[in-house]
Structure 1
């Protein structure tokens, strides 16, 4: 195996490892020992069992591995592994996405500042530290989104619709642990996301995903293809390409959230990975594109740039919800799984588990993925099938316990930034 090409993968699943092997790579896998999907060990030549969320430590481990038998790239397909992969890429002098790009994408203030400076997107954003800062921003820019400066999954995100809501949201932020937060101009309009792949600086859009969100901004459904006019498609794609050029992303997948405002498309945020929430599965159903497999083939130099053809069907993800409380029973799952349109059903709660009010993505209770004749058919089927899974709960006695950022995020510094973590 001396001449075998080697790649280091940070985190991820056995399925991703198999696709990397199929592309011709021998895999060095870095994963947390307490989170390890043990089935992945059969797919790798080496496994480094350590906390992959420690970028500097992992880079040093990979430096020793690389010195013994070089790796060609260090890659992660998951949010928590992107900084680590970038740090190791820089430390080993390898091709790929380094910390300059990942830092811009993960630091929402830096992202907004760059897009403003490059005239890509004018959305206003500032750092706030309490009620006075929030009130000033709302009075200047109108409805406002409050969020951690770093992070994903809608953790710690609130909308302030007007000055009357400032005291309550500022009090919530302090109680939640957001002593420093990002304030962004609220963008009105439906939200979509854009899956793209960059081939040595050439950016190709693979799919547009329509979304449904709750008032909390948590996403509750995804549908492909999105119903965009040719003119709107062109405007969205042009905006995403200009953003990717501005941040310097040149290779691999990206996932970008866009609001379709009355003034045209505007950017929410972007990530140098494929979309979560099973969005990549929708692209596979609708366009026949396996984004993970495409990435490994591209890194191995075994594919030319791939672009989507016409959609061959519609597909949708619908998330399961339940009334807050303690789960008593879950029914209807067998019938839903038996439906021929169902691609997958996942239920993340069972009897005795607690269902919280949906404040962020992790509060959802599962999902169903459905294939349909077209997008409308898939959307309607997914909604009906999600409703057919009944999660019966018993309400809590009294108000639900308050939750802090430390309680929902094992690494609060990844959301706030190390200098922003308080007590």
Structure 2
């Protein structure tokens, strides 16, 4: 895929005068969002579109996922124009919620950034003739064994085996090799990802993960486990935006991973890669997006850089979490949250480019508790922010139950920093994070 450019900042897109990010396309438009990812970047993206004239309808199964027992009226999502309670796993229910009695759409677009709801959302969009990311594409991205099958013999693919019963484990180990990665084939936020060093570890991972018969959002799962060859190398993610049949690549994001859970603990953007390596990476990601039939929207693609070239780890047909989209916006000058929403409304926005933002580089360190339990306090925020060009944001309050460091749901906040290079920003964010203590105590 070639580079998606959209109209220049001074031009006009399908939605009206572009401005930075094509913002004129929001005026008088109505967008339905099916659920939301957690944390302020996604909430801020919603209200940025509302501030530019877009009416936002939010479809939710229930508000408990977002409130942690607190009143929903106090939550940022409560400030959308309309909250609709419906079965957000069911495309029929989504269609009914956003159409009139004659079946005509009451919205100009429908979009989801939740991996658990992108398939139902794409189905609804296509039934109503609204802009869609492509049902086949989001299905392949959400079900990782389907992605592997579509990549086939592409050099960026890795050996894999979908394990559907205990008697298939040994054969899968022989096919994939050790060490290997075991994961649920259809989950998000690094939930259930395990690195297995030996046969005993692989059997234990299968036993653990096959017992999980519902997703984090309650969808039924068959208990299958995906085994993939562990690929040594440096992991990055590639942030991109597809529109009009072509893809614009913002740049690469670094990843600091926990050694066993593979949990992402820090990021920086944009990571400088040698021109030849960057060309190989974008070619591999472009082939992957083409293989799944991705029509439009953001993609967050995880890639391993190996001695034999890039390897595709996963594709997420949504905006990334962990403030990565904030880094992209600050470096590239256009907010991907706004760009993605404009695409869903049928506009042709300008995506922005590195060097057009307010800083050359940025980084984020994820704050995790040292032990699970009840969050009692977070100390050192003032000292961290006093180091300069650093902000700390929390998404867990004292009294909240916090989990072990096994997936991204355990995080309690972010340390965000600007600097002249990605490496300098990461060093600044790490230093600031070292001044912060997350305090927990045992309890229910």
Partner of 2:139: 103
Measured in 1, the distance between the counterparts of 2:139 and 2:210 equals 26
Deviation at 1:43, TM superposition (A): 4.4
Against the structure 1 CA distance between its residues 338 and 48, is the aligned structure 2 distance closer, same or farther, given a 3 Å change threshold? same
Shift of 1:325: 4.4
Measure how far apart 1:164 and its partner are: 4.5
User: Contact (CA 8 Å) 1:89, 1:95: kept in 2 or not?
Assistant: yes
Does residue 148 of structure 1 match 2:184?
A: yes
For 2:238, the equivalent position in structure 1 comes to 194
RMSD, aligned α-carbons: 2.8
Give 3-state SS (helix, strand or coil) of 1:80's partner. coil
1:320 aligned to 333, 342, 367, which one?
A: 367
Partner residue in 1 for 2:378: 330
Match of 1:416 in 2: none
CA 23–366 in structure 1, closer or farther in 2 if over 3 Å, else same: closer
Task: Kindly state the Cα deviation for residue 96 of structure 1 after the two structures are TM-superposed.
Answer: 1.6
State the Cα deviation string for residues 303-333 of structure 1 (Å, max 9, x = none). Answer: 5543513374221110123322445543212
Query: Is the contact between residue 59 and residue 87 of structure 1 (CA under 8 Å) also seen in structure 2?
Result: no
TM-score (norm 2): 0.79
Structure (1/2) with the larger helix percentage: 1
- 5+ residue gaps in structure 2? 1-26, 37-41, 67-71, 214-221
Give 3-state SS (helix, strand or coil) of 2:182's partner: strand
Deviation of 1:154 (Å): 1.2
Maintained 8 Å contact 2:115/2:142 = no
Q: Are positions 1:91 and 2:127 aligned together?
A: yes
1:371 and 2:418 matched: yes
**Alpha-carbon distance in 2 for matches of 1:323, 1:251:** 40
| Offset at residue 354 of structure 1 (A) | 5.0
- In 2, the alpha carbon distance for the partners of 1:5 and 1:364 equals 35
Aligned pairs for 1:43-62 (under 5 A) are: 43-44=80-81, 46-62=82-98
- Choose the corresponding residue for 2:56, options 14, 27, 38: 27
Q: Does 1:262 align with 2:291?
A: no
- CA-CA distance at 1:127 after TM superposition: 1.4
Q: Which residue of 2 aligns with 1:135?
A: 170
The 1:328/1:27 distance shift into structure 2, 3 A limit, reads closer
Match of 2:193 in 1: 157
Task: Please say if residues 224 and 375 of structure 1, whose CA atoms lie closer than 8 Å, have aligned partners that are also in contact.
Answer: yes
Q: Which has the higher contact order (CA 8 A, sep 6+)?
A: 2
Aligned pair count? 392
1:289 corresponds to: 334
- Among residues 253, 277, 283, which one is paired with 1:209 in the alignment? 253
Change in CA separation of 1:344 and 1:50 when aligned onto 2, cut-off 3 Å = farther
Contact persistence 2:377–2:440 (CA under 8 A): yes
Q: Per-residue deviation at 1:299?
A: 4.4
Task: Show the counterpart of 1:411.
Answer: none
From the superposition, tell whether residues 239 and 49 of structure 1 become closer, same or farther in structure 2 (CA, over 3 Å): same
Could you list the per-position Cα deviations for residues 244-280 of structure 1 after superposition, in whole angstroms to 9, with x for gaps in the alignment?
1111112111111111122111101112211111110
In 1, Cα distance between the equivalents of 2:207 and 2:79? 50
User: CA 1:304–1:116 in structure 2 vs 1: closer, same or farther (change >3 Å)?
Assistant: same
Would the aligned equivalents of 2:131 and 2:344 in 1 still touch at CA under 8 Å?
no
- What is aligned with 1:406? none
